[in-house]
Amino acid sequence: MNHAWVGPPPHEGSCAVVDGCLTCGDVAVPVKVLEAAEPDAVCEDEHGRRGTVGVELVSPVRAGDRLLVHGGVAISRLERSA
Amino acid sequence: MRYVDEFRDANLARTLSTQIAAVAEPGRHYKVMEVCGGHTHTIYKHGIEDHLPETIELVHGPGCPVCVIPMGRVDDGISIARRPGVIFTCFGDMMRVPGGDGSLLDAKAQGADVRFVYSPLDALKVARLNPEREVVFYAIGFETTAPSTALTLMRAKAEGLTNFSVMCNHVTIVPPLKALLESPDLRLDAFIGPGHVSTVIGCRPYEFIPADYGQPVVVAGFEPLDLLQAVYMIMLQLAEGRSEIENQYGRVVPWEGNLRALEVLQEVFELRPYFEWRGLGFISQSALKLSDAYRDFDAELRFDVPGVRVADPKACQCGEVLKGVIKPWECKVFGTACTPETPIGTCMVSSEGACAAYYNFGRFARSTARAGS
């Protein structure tokens, strides 16, 4: 699994231009935790794509938590699920 | 989708647009800088300027991490990538940034093993899978991205990986803001603060802007309504004679930032005495290098890099664009010699670059840009 939260890039050497550069810029992706584990949790983005995310900076996490991911690492949490 | 759809509501956008127009002082021209390239991208993707009075000018700031990398640093990276036995990894946009002697993509075409990754953690996986090779990650980005590099290095150190290193080009957001505020070329009224950088550093680092320069700062999210609301909050401050930091992006940005991320940055990095920014020149204490505790992972110490300065192409006006002095389409080569397919300047490379945003979303047709040049 990789961190392809933005889906496959149009071609090598280019980010997904239409949706912005989600990997190297000041943009991050909201995801939901499916399997809580540390240091890497399995998460899913809005399009149903799954991948592992480093969660050391927002731990502890649990299934259902919503996180903001940048560069494969969660930098913030959006909310804690009820 | 939650956190997305509700921030793209057209009726709310129209309401905000009306409210903004209502508080704009007749006859006054407002210059508001959006610092972040992600904001620039949203502004042009969603046509935010079409919903603002003509008297409010959005000026694009230096917050695209690809755009501020000087050509010499690209050449330094390429010199490492070309070494036998090296696997050179970087983010996708970085591969097309032209240096003085081609781009990383050119180096790859010529035989260098250059691979793009979505995360530095993926570069670490490459290192684990290739213990006989030297794996280098070319790190770029502001405080949003630096924590992922820091965590990667902490994992590499904990695992005792000896074939992984980082060429660090991480930069910090506050010094260029100070440089812009001191620039005689530019007179601004307010700032739209970067949302995800602030997730890490919080809002306090911007306190000098209202305190020393009397200008409002509103930290904003990246959806269309986020930006419209941020402009409205700025306009209210200006109308009421206030200059404060406000956090429009409270659903994500804690006022104090991510304290654990700041601790991690503190452990892994230290400030460089100075760093060259494309278009802005050398700015003191504006970038990060690996701390002594992580010097074994510093690619600039592990490999001999030339470290030469390369002047930007004369035709390229990225510097003026990054400082907000000119609009992208006012550059002489915009849309003609410089396009996303064949970029001359970094602002045309990254989708967060102001030039690429203008180009991709058709703010000005190329024929218009040519006629205006």
Q: What is the pLDDT of residue B371?
A: 44
**In this structure, is residue A3 part of a structural domain?**
no
Q: Please judge whether A24 and B36 are an interchain contact, meaning their C-beta atoms are less than 8 angstroms apart.
A: no
Q: Tell me the C-alpha distance between B241 and B238, whole Å.
A: 5
Question: Structural domain of residue B155, as residue ranges?
Answer: 71-172+257-302
On the 0-12 / 13-18 / 19+ scale of CB atoms within 10 A, A70 is buried
Alpha helices in chain B, H assignment, sequence order: 10-23, 37-45, 71-81, 104-109, 120-129, 146-159, 174-182, 195-201, 208-213, 224-239, 259-268, 299-302, 318-322, 354-360, 366-372
Q: What is the pLDDT of residue A12?
A: 38
Please list every residue in chain B whose beta carbon sits closer than 8 Å to the beta carbon of residue A30. Answer: 2-4
Q: What is the pLDDT of residue B243?
A: 97
pLDDT of A6 > 50? The answer is no
Please list every residue in chain B whose beta carbon sits closer than 8 Å to the beta carbon of residue A71. Answer: 118-120, 141, 144-145, 148-149
pLDDT of B288 > 50? The answer is yes
Q: Is the separation of the CB atoms in B246 and B219 below 8 Å?
A: yes
pLDDT (tens digit, 9 = 90+) per residue, B86-114? 999 999 888 888 888 899 999 999 999 99
Q: Please judge whether A24 and B63 are an interchain contact, meaning their C-beta atoms are less than 8 angstroms apart.
A: no
Average pLDDT rounded to a whole number, residues B71-76:
93
pLDDT (tens digit, 9 = 90+) per residue, B249-278? 998 899 999 999 999 999 999 999 999 988
**In this structure, is residue B147 part of a structural domain?**
yes
pLDDT of A9 > 50? The answer is no
Q: For chain B, say whether A38 makes contact (Cβ under 8 Å).
A: no
pLDDT of B314 > 90? The answer is no
> For residue A82, what pLDDT band results from cuts at 50, 70 and 90?
very low
Q: What is the pLDDT of residue A19?
A: 44
Query: What is the predicted ipTM?
Result: 0.83
Nearest C-alpha in B relative to A8: B118
pLDDT (tens digit, 9 = 90+) per residue, B104-159? 999 999 999 999 998 999 999 999 999 999 999 999 999 999 999 999 999 999 99
Q: Are strands B113-116 and B164-170 parallel, antiparallel or unpaired?
A: unpaired
Which CATH number characterizes residue A33's domain? 2.30.30.140
**In this structure, is residue A49 part of a structural domain?**
yes
Q: What is the pLDDT of residue A45?
A: 86
- What's the pTM? 0.86
Question: Structural domain of residue A69, as residue ranges?
Answer: 29-79
Mutate to test the interface with B, among A12, A19, A24 (most CBs of B within 10 A): A24
pLDDT (tens digit, 9 = 90+) per residue, B13-28? 999 999 999 999 999 9
Q: Please judge whether A70 and B145 are an interchain contact, meaning their C-beta atoms are less than 8 angstroms apart.
A: yes
- Residue type for B51, please? H
Q: How many structural domains does chain A have?
A: 1
Q: Is the peptide bond before A39 cis (omega within 30 degrees of 0)?
A: yes
Q: How many structural domains does chain B have?
A: 1
How is residue B351 written in tokens?
A: 């989708």
**In this structure, is residue A16 part of a structural domain?**
no
Q: Please judge whether B351 and A17 are an interchain contact, meaning their C-beta atoms are less than 8 angstroms apart.
A: yes
Which CATH number characterizes residue B133's domain? 3.40.50.11740
**In this structure, is residue A75 part of a structural domain?**
yes
**In this structure, is residue A69 part of a structural domain?**
yes
E strand or H helix at B64: none
**In this structure, is residue A58 part of a structural domain?**
yes
**In this structure, is residue B145 part of a structural domain?**
yes
How is residue B253 written in tokens?
A: 């940005």
**In this structure, is residue B272 part of a structural domain?**
yes
> For residue B306, what pLDDT band results from cuts at 50, 70 and 90?
confident
Residue B1 CB coordination number (10 Å): 9
**In this structure, is residue A52 part of a structural domain?**
yes
Please list every residue in chain B whose beta carbon sits closer than 8 Å to the beta carbon of residue A20. Answer: 38, 41-42, 45, 351-352
**In this structure, is residue A13 part of a structural domain?**
no
